[in-house]
Amino acid sequence: MSLKNSCETLAKVGESEEIFTLRAQDATAPKMVVLWIAENLHCTDEKLTEAFECALRMRKHPTTKAAD
């Protein structure tokens, strides 16, 4: 997981490339991260673990609601 101001991945995004952001407060975000993991099993174990740990932290977010 990366924070907004220190994300190497965002630095790789092209000028006209679309991106989609999930916020921890979005009730469905952890499920979407787990779905991403299932669709990306070819990634390194490190990347998959990072994503899974992110989903776990999202589940613990103190406030959840429907997406904005």
Average pLDDT over residues 1-25: 79
Decide which of 66 and 34 is more confident: 34
**pTM confidence score:** 0.80
Average pLDDT over residues 34-60: 96
Query: What count of residues does the chain have?
Result: 68
Q: What are 29's two structure tokens?
A: 């975000």
Amino acid at 44: T
pLDDT for residue 32: 97
Determine phi and psi for 36, rounding to 5 degrees.
Answer: -60, -45
The region of weakest confidence among 6-20, 33-47, 54-68 is: 6-20
pLDDT above 60: residue 42 = yes
8 A C-beta contact, residue 58 and residue 25: no
